[in-house]
Amino acid sequence: MALILDGKSLAKRIREKLKIRVDNLADKPGLAVLLVGEDPASHTYVNIKQKACEEVGIRFEKYLYEASVSEDVLLEKINEFNLRPDINGILVQLPLPSQNADRIIAAIDPKKDVDGFHPENVRALQEGKPAIVSAVALGVMRLVSLATEHLPKPTSATIISSPLFAAPLVSLLKEHSISPSVLSLSPTLPLSKGELEGVLASDLIIIAIGKPKFLTGSMIKPGAILIDVGTTKIDGTLYGDVDRLTVDPIAGAVSPVPGGVGPMTVAMLLVNVLKAHYLQHGAPELLLEE
């Protein structure tokens, strides 16, 4: 049976280390979050982030806006945070109801962009330069590292997702000498023969498409590492994109939903806030090795 990659336990260990580091800082890091609209999932995610920040001692400021708020109002608030030395991280909870997310994100000081979405951070990562990296991508890579403590290191990977989601993962995988390919699926069409062959040949599959139980045992090679980023709630139950019933007897390792990538993403967001704090204070880059 597949090794279950317990992101919840790993995230807990990371938060414990972060708390020790934050406790030793005279100047506590601060995170400001802009939350627009009434989307229940977005409010839930922000509350989880707030609780995690409070747990490790990161100051948390939340600003709520109506769904119809103008972009100029958001830009003015971001500029205020850019100038505040006590705010080290700025996060705009996505998706936005109607506002131009690219314009809003581009207004954030790249050194305070703890989501890693700013064009300067994306470009720096692609060029192999120091950057603040997407928290979900970092969480995925930590789970891959956890898997390789017990399994052979993968040399090939398929990312089944949008190109935007895949971009930071492509750079990180290459840094780890893992050859990546990106598969952007049509919402309605099944996998072509060539696409299926590519997935079947991969040592590592990262999937984030929001199609419950899409990836089945017949689509993976024996011993493959599966990182499930998809989340879909049906009748109150959360499902991932991986069909655990059919893949567990075949895969080498799989991240569960819930309890896999989700808690790791929150933990790595906290790491990014502390890294941003260090960058803004000219301190050495944060290292959190397990």
How far from each other are the two terminal CA atoms of the chain, in whole angstroms?
A: 25
Contact 81, 32 (CB under 8 A): yes
Joined together, the tokens standing for residue 218 give 């017949």
Q: For 215-266, how does the pLDDT look when each residue is reduced to its tens digit (9 = 90+)? A: 999 999 999 999 999 999 899 899 999 999 999 999 999 999 999 999 999 9
pLDDT reading at 286 higher than 90: no
Q: For 165-199, how does the pLDDT look when each residue is reduced to its tens digit (9 = 90+)? A: 999 999 999 999 999 999 998 766 778 888 899 99
**Residues listed for the chain:** 290
Q: Which architecture does CATH list for 135-262?
A: 3-Layer(aba) Sandwich (3.40)
pLDDT at 234: 92
By the 10 Å C-beta count (0-12 exposed, 13-18 middle, 19+ buried), 166 is classed as buried
| Rounded distance between C-alpha atoms, residue 7 and residue 149, angstroms | 14
| Pairing between β-strand 237-239 and β-strand 232-234 as defined by DSSP bridges | antiparallel
Angle, helices 119-126 vs 163-175, to 10°: value is 40
Q: For 125-147, how does the pLDDT look when each residue is reduced to its tens digit (9 = 90+)? A: 999 898 999 999 999 999 999 99
Joined together, the tokens standing for residue 211 give 């199609």
Domain parsing of the chain, residue ranges: 27-109, 135-262
Residues whose CB falls within 8 Å of the CB of residue 283, separated by 6 or more in sequence, listed in order: 277
For domain 27-109, give the fold.
Answer: Rossmann fold (3.40.50)
Chain center to CA of 166: 11
